[in-house]
Structure 1
């Protein structure tokens, strides 16, 4: 498939801080890629390099076959950064018109607003919108110029469940029409719901790059759930939590854990061993990587 964005052995420093450390990543046409990582992992820095807002300290970055600093290349992308400052006095419809005027081809205003559940806000001033409504407008604007590739940095932060799902449908529709998306999110279920490919970054490096299922399998994490009191220290436990009277243990070796639990003589009931969620896999990857730093 055609590569729309490419980072080749990219390093980015901010003074003494190494934000990206030899990152190589290709975004291919038609992909929906989820970029995961804790705060400070380098997600936003990588997007800023792709869209031409920053330059790498070393390595190469390409966008649509050329330099991200080339305005002609940037006409083919859409972006929603984490922070957006839209004019408070302009109406939503006016902002869509203003942004659309910068592109040779653009989505019709009514169609764009309907796709993202914003039709009823067309005559509202930005200053009178809630934070969640402003965020929805900012995401919709990324799709105004009929882009080939869209970068969404934490697109649904601050939205309620219904608003998030409306945006998901708009993003899915763009992807189903052949569009390419790279999105970051702290809502891991959002990545599961949208992305086909997951890239996990931590400490400025790519820790995993595969499908959701493959990322789970890569770390071999399982969740052991049971009802028990005063559990002893058990081998291979990466994390634990108590939910509604049940203890959930995240482990790389559920068989060994259960054997040691039985040997300890601790009374327990309701034992279940389940596949991990993406969140649990993500925590396992980053904790393993952190142990080697």
Structure 2
């Protein structure tokens, strides 16, 4: 079995004058992993991708793809990329754009297969200048996969896509990853990261602040949320009584809906149902990726402000 990492970033750092965009990133991604790169605007995601692809030179540190400098893997056609700044010639059709890129590779897919993978067959004859935002993203994806790469970088791949187009895109992406390919994608849609990534790497202020499975990342926000409907009147004393229940960390009420955050949901539920038998429509949920994202990135912002 080949144990050479698909991506290895070591001590990667990139500065632009007084601005540090990437600050000492160490990251190893194994072949076959689907990794989501998350972080607020300015966290360093796009710069990290540029450094990994050799499109920018690091101030310090090293980037390797399949154990070699990025340019070597790119020349072999092992790497595809769909970047925010990537542009297609507006006068060409989608099929012509894919064919142009295919001609630069040794063992590309056929144009028809690349178009099919990207769900672009029906827009193959349309000129790039006439494409909608979502169609343009699909065309760029076809260009990225025509080399039949082992590793694919995607920077905000579903930007400008509607809900149905996003679903279609990820269906085509599943076909790509089911063949054992490595994918790294940066996104602002946290639900995409939660659903499609094997692993989440979260960045803030140019550093990695979390690295693990979606479940592991969400687990950094302790406790669970309990929601219920109450027929009893809302009073200050009633809220105080909820806060005294075992495990309860916070309690809110909006209209007839009560929301509790508990560090011991089993104990809270037992005590809650005993003290408030009128409750109904009870829901118990784990914390979301959004909450983990806010907790981790806000913590890093606070640390940065204090340092």
TM-score range, shorter chain: 0.7 to 0.9
User: What are the within-5 Å matches in structure 2 for residues 46-57 of structure 1?
Assistant: 46-57=48-59
SS in 1 for 2:220: helix
Aligned-partner Cα distance in 1 for 2:253–2:61:
42
CA gap 1:15/1:226 in 2 versus in 1, 3 angstroms: farther
| Greater Cα offset, 112-121 or 29-38 | 112-121
Gaps of 5+ in 1: none
| Greater Cα offset, 63-72 or 50-59 | 63-72
2:296 corresponds, among 280, 285, 290, to: 285
Aligned-partner Cα distance in 2 for 1:135–1:240:
42
Q: Does 1:95 align with 2:106?
A: no
Gaps of 5+ in 2: none
SS in 2 for 1:46: helix
Q: How many pairs does the alignment contain? A: 287
Deviation at 1:107, TM superposition (A): 1.1
Aligned-partner Cα distance in 2 for 1:142–1:245:
51
User: What are the within-5 Å matches in structure 2 for residues 208-287 of structure 1?
Assistant: 208-226=210-228, 246=257, 251=261, 253=263, 269-270=279-280, 272-287=283-298
Partner residue in 2 for 1:80: 82
Partner residue in 1 for 2:42: 40
SS in 2 for 1:94: helix
Deviation at 1:119, TM superposition (A): 0.6
SS in 2 for 1:29: coil
Aligned-partner Cα distance in 2 for 1:112–1:12:
34
| Greater Cα offset, 115-124 or 149-158 | 115-124
TM-score (norm 1): 0.86
Partners of 2:4 and 2:66 within 8 A in 1: no
Q: CA RMSD in A?
A: 3.1
Partner residue in 1 for 2:16: 14
Deviation at 1:218, TM superposition (A): 3.0
CA gap 1:5/1:108 in 2 versus in 1, 3 angstroms: same
TM-score (norm 2): 0.82
Aligned-partner Cα distance in 2 for 1:14–1:241:
48
